[in-house]
Amino acid sequence: MTAPLHGREAIVNLFRIECARATMVCEVEQILEDGEWAVLEWRDPLGLRGCGFFRVRDGRIVFQRGYFDQLCFFRQQGLAVPDRYLG
């Protein structure tokens, strides 16, 4: 969805922008943990599903990657699909 973000301010700004343009509720399906790795599987009441992978060191997220169907998300939210998604 975006280029890698670095720092709290960049992450907060991303969520501020993205949450302002969509209404979504994420319900936790399960959380798995192994050492410094954690996986969050979630779903939205409208049917969208996704997961996030996190590496945590000293109480801070040092790596995160998430997956969900972005085209379904845009359609569910009534948002225009960015041209870069259409090839």
pLDDT at 87 over 70: no
Q: Is 70 exceeded by the pLDDT of residue 1?
A: no
Phi, psi dihedral angles at 55 (to 5 degrees): -115, 125
Dist. CA 47–CA 24, nearest whole Å: 11
pLDDT recorded at residue 22: 77
- Phi/psi for 35 (5° steps) reads 65, -125
Residue-wise pLDDT tens digits, 11-59: 888 778 876 777 878 899 999 999 999 999 999 888 889 999 999 999 9
CB-facing half-sphere around the CA of 34: CA atoms within 13 A? 3
More confident residue, 63 or 70: 63
